[in-house]
Chains A and B, each alone.
Chain A
């Protein structure tokens, strides 16, 4: 595993690692075109356009209620929408359940509240989908699961139940569970917001490791240190729209929109 040592180093001196900002390929991973969504009469997404290239790491931030989580959840159609198109890995998401399942197989997701299955052991959490969706034999699925648990650095917890782990460990299991499906794209929905401050770093380190491996990532987060370190692109959302989008350097140092300046001044103290 190449990321183990680097991951640790990254945590130790967060600001100094500079990732290759170019994307590995010129292929579109996710394309969102004119997306509109309403919750009842509340217009939560208002004509959002976003294109994510393969190998790119996009961090979305913005005030609560701005629609950033909803946008993320449209990418694997956990939420549906009323207008617009979402194309993931070359497949357009429509009502077609087969297509939706196909996309979900390629897109891993990590939630704010972990959402591990409490009645299953850590290992079973990780092998459930590979066995029943990818149709891996049990033995092979176990091997894959242990490999990824190793990678998130908790191989010794495989036979425990989620409730026996700390929040940080649970979130790392959730990451491993998503990786076991060997997805092409990973979505993170505020992965560190529900964690105690002492556990945030271990989860971020894991995510940095993933970024170093070239995973395509869309992350909703307010961890600006992490964003500076791994993002190719920063996105600020407010009131269901993308307000500003830029490379991290410019985004943090020379924000152009007033809303961005205000937002950054509030979270960066």
Chain B
């Protein structure tokens, strides 16, 4: 019921907009509001605090405070010699650094690996910085020319460069080669498979489904194992495919199948109206996909794509089982060296590898986040 005693109301003056009140207060108010607001939040704050102390403090103590920084042999990292509790044994990492980075790549040829890294970085950094000019040319150089140049630089056998067998490759080099190849080939493959799976042509669709389901149905370890040990039996005797290449192909096909499903998710999220509007303008299938659907669909699934990239990067460690020694493989090999056998060698090595994996993965994740934000220009929240 309306309250009849309320008189009619007519606004006489319009209220001008004001700036919002400042979020305020001193440190104490802030602390109380953010950390100790109610029983539950107080308990959460305390538990989190305890966790931080329990986890972070020993880590800092091990990695930095108690760590041994200089030395030339295992003796320098033994508590008996040092005369105190010993944390990380960094001289071990320094001594094995070349092995971690290059594997058994000949020391005289290390410059080729470094040059490849430098080339890659010079092309990648401007590609990642939104403001840098000539994006198209940059992308062509990085995705098209760089892999070819890198291939000849690393493999050699041309232009007077001695041939270096891939059996000698190892460490971070192998990790990066596998991840980079996997990343730049799995995305296009995934896009093609996703489009194929949604195609109206029955043969294309069936082939895509079979391909995707097959590669998703087998574990990566099986794929690697098969590619390395079984495939030679099926190929004619004179056929020899390089061991690393076989692994690379396996990884790309495997990652491509996963990528296809991520991309398909994005395609399915696109409203029908976008297809219809593009069709009504007379655009053909490839232009509709290339200019209208894929740019939006891929944007939607950036988190999923990056998720797959990170998973792929970490899955490269599985190549160890087919006797390819990536970063983790070289690490394990180095543990076996009696010259550096100390109680802390294992922890130091894993801490070092963990930091590298974390830096790369976290870097990808943060970059993807910033890209998502940038691409959202002009879209409603």
Contacts and interface: CB of A to CB of B under 8 A. Distances in A.
B282 A181 contact: yes
B276 A161 contact: no
30 contacts: A73-B276, A78-B280, A104-B281, A104-B282, A108-B280, A109-B277, A111-B276, A115-B271, A115-B273, A115-B276, A115-B277, A116-B277, A117-B292, A118-B378, A119-B295, A121-B378, A128-B291, A129-B281, A129-B282, A132-B283, A133-B282, A133-B283, A160-B378, A161-B379, A162-B378, A163-B380, A174-B277, A178-B280, A178-B281, A181-B281
Interface of A: 73, 76, 78, 101, 104-105, 107-109, 111, 113, 115-119, 121, 128-129, 132-133, 160-164, 174, 177-178, 181
B223 to A, nearest CB: 36
Interface size class of B (residues with CB under 8 A): 20 to 34
Nearest to B299: A119
Interface string B288-325: 00011001100100000000000000000000000000
Given A104-B279, A109-B280, A174-B277, 4 more contacts: A78-B276, A128-B283, A133-B287, A161-B378
Interface of B: 271, 273-274, 276-284, 287, 291-292, 295-296, 299, 375, 377-380
Given A111-B273, A111-B276, A111-B277, A129 B378 contact: no
Contacts of B282: 101, 104-105, 129, 133, 181
A164 B379 CA distance: 7
Contact of B281 (A118, A119, A128): A128
Nearest to B281: A129
Nearest to A134: B282
B373 to A, nearest CB: 15
Given A113-B273, A163-B379, A119 B296 contact: yes
Given A105-B282, A109-B280, A177-B281, A132 B378 contact: no
B283 A129 contact: yes
A17 B292 CA distance: 40
Nearest to B279: A78
A161 B281 contact: no
List 4 tightest A-B contacts by C-beta distance, closest first.
A161-B378, A115-B277, A129-B281, A104-B282
A129 B284 CA distance: 10
Nearest to A97: B284
A161 B284 CA distance: 24
Contacts of B271: 113, 115
A171 to B, nearest CB: 12
A51 B379 CA distance: 42
Contact of A107 (B273, B274, B280, B292): B280
A108 B273 CA distance: 15
Contacts of A121: 378
A105 B380 CA distance: 31
A89 B379 CA distance: 38
Q: Which of B296, B375, B378 has the most CB of A within 10 A?
A: B378
B281 A133 contact: yes
A199 B377 CA distance: 25
Contacts of B296: 117-119
A160 B287 CA distance: 23
Nearest to A124: B291
Contacts of A163: 378-380
Contacts of B378: 118, 121, 160-164
Nearest to A161: B378
Contacts of B292: 117, 128
Q: Which of A101, A132, A160, A178 has the most CB of B within 10 A?
A: A132
A119 to B, nearest CB: 5
A104 B292 CA distance: 17
B274 A115 contact: yes
B287 A132 contact: yes
Nearest to B291: A128
A117 B375 CA distance: 14
Nearest to A77: B279
Nearest to A103: B282
Q: Which of A113, A116, A117, A121 has the most CB of B within 10 A?
A: A117
Contact of B284 (A73, A78, A101, A164): A101
B280 A104 contact: yes
Nearest to B293: A117
A151 B287 CA distance: 28
Contacts of A132: 283, 287, 291
B274 A117 contact: yes
B96 to A, nearest CB: 48
A107 to B, nearest CB: 7
Contacts of B287: 132-133
A181 B283 CA distance: 11
Contacts of A107: 280
Nearest to B272: A115
